[in-house]
Chains A and B, each alone.
Chain A
């Protein structure tokens, strides 16, 4: 195992890059940051689309950029999906899909081609002109086109940001499934927190050309010293094991820690399999003791820290007996009423319908 190592001291007129970065060789690494933070530039460095000065990039044996050498994009073993589909208008869908296959060193076989086309629901549009497809369909073709080259590294630059909510909802589950099957690293640029938490295993947080933080997604999401924990849409990510599924109510039970199981709606989950669960800070209710309520999921916690976020709200960092961290977003008024102070023991309740689990 070797990491992808990228460093840059790029100096542009109104922009400065100054970072050293290691990207894990497996899983999905999300590049996250405000617009203008350098996410797309960083991705273009990885792709080799431009020869940025004062930049080094290597991945084990592969030396893609150094003082002495620059391997251009067309010689790098990568697949890239852009913000817009960028399909070739003079070719039909199938010719678009095969364009990269014909040129790749280890393209997908005909069997894999058929399988992927079926999986992405493209079978009945192979002879169409790409411009006659919807935005979501076009982006599915673009994703397939990159995958069919069977690259060693996949790069995606906000692939869902140009799509409307319906098209987004259509592709996201596919990306989640891809995540399960993908053997290669994927570097994914987004500015959508939920999208990031659903897909990402690792996170690189960028701001103004600097790496603010890098590491495991689940840990960085609950780090009180990072801006993520202050956002209204702050959330937590857990990969949990399915203990049993309850056919009668359409729920399944996930092991949160030794003492607590969570219940959430899911269909046909095999016990032993993993589910990725997102918990929104807004969806957590705090109370002083267990009580009969419609919230099925109640987790004993104690308060580690709390801080004001804006004039009316407080974020409370909670720790479970299993050393897991949760952030609850509550009003300052209820924090005062409940007596939220460091060390206090509380119950965190999460409404089942607020939880969603995806395949992991």
Chain B
């Protein structure tokens, strides 16, 4: 027996993952490139910061985000005063949380791909009269494509599995912050096993197909690089 609105959390989760992945790519490609070009203590510190979400319990991230976003804090009050934006328990807040939570899964493959290319293709492009931005778009990006695709799929998949961060900064507002992991938790709490089955099974299938696709993509790109 499927209740109406049962799959709403799945759509919300997919939307959250998609928006977060796009934001991560827009930020992560230039940032990953920038990190790949440099060395030193400062860069090592940045790389460590980027890697932190890999090891931290998601609730720790959620806790700090809640503190920073809350209207009680300086930043939160400023956002509220200036833009009328209240981040906790909103979709926008969730996107920000997801971006931080999935940051290493996108930045690391993208940066590694740029490092693997090395400086030579960009130099060669310069001797062929390509200006830096032109060379980046026509040479560095296509050569890093497998790494960028991996980052996108990993970032998307990792956001799907988000629970702790959402629980703390998103709460459980249907259609706004009630993502699938929260919904399943709810269903189990209320002993609604049937709904929990449907949602869990669907997520299992989506995740499996996604990772399978990534395997195929990597196999194909091995022929190119």
Interface residues, chain A, with chain B CB atoms under 8 Å away: 47, 49, 72-75, 78-80, 82, 86, 88-90, 99-100, 103-105, 145-146, 149
Contact = CB atoms under 8 A, between A and B. Distances in A.
B224 A103 contact: no
A49 B127 contact: yes
A72 B121 contact: no
A128 to B, nearest CB: 14
Nearest to A131: B224
Interface residues of B, number: 21
Contacts of A146: 127
Q: Nearest 3 CB-CB pairs, A to B?
A: A100-B128, A103-B129, A80-B127
Nearest to B138: A99
Interface of B: 120-121, 123-132, 134-135, 138-139, 142-143, 145, 224-225
B143 A89 contact: yes
A47 B121 CA distance: 15
| Majority SS at the chain B contact face | helix
A145 B121 contact: no
A151 B172 CA distance: 65
A146 B125 CA distance: 11
Nearest to B121: A88
| Majority SS at the chain A contact face | mixed
29 contacts: A49-B127, A72-B126, A73-B123, A73-B126, A73-B127, A74-B125, A74-B131, A74-B135, A78-B127, A79-B127, A80-B124, A82-B120, A82-B124, A86-B121, A86-B124, A88-B125, A88-B143, A89-B225, A90-B142, A99-B125, A99-B128, A99-B130, A100-B127, A100-B128, A103-B130, A104-B129, A145-B128, A149-B128, A149-B129
A145 B120 CA distance: 16
A100 B138 CA distance: 12
B146 to A, nearest CB: 10
Contacts of B125: 74, 88, 99
Nearest to B144: A90
Contacts of A149: 128-129
Contacts of B128: 99-100, 103-104, 145, 149
A99 B122 CA distance: 13
Contacts of A80: 124, 127
B144 to A, nearest CB: 10
Contacts of A86: 120-121, 124
Nearest to A72: B126
A49 to B, nearest CB: 6
Nearest to B123: A49
A178 B121 CA distance: 26
A343 B167 CA distance: 101
B126 A49 contact: yes
A90 B121 CA distance: 11
A73 B123 CA distance: 9
Given A88-B139, A99-B138, 6 more contacts: A80-B127, A82-B124, A86-B121, A103-B128, A104-B128, A149-B128
Contacts of B142: 90
A99 B135 CA distance: 10
A74 B130 contact: yes
A303 to B, nearest CB: 49
A178 to B, nearest CB: 18
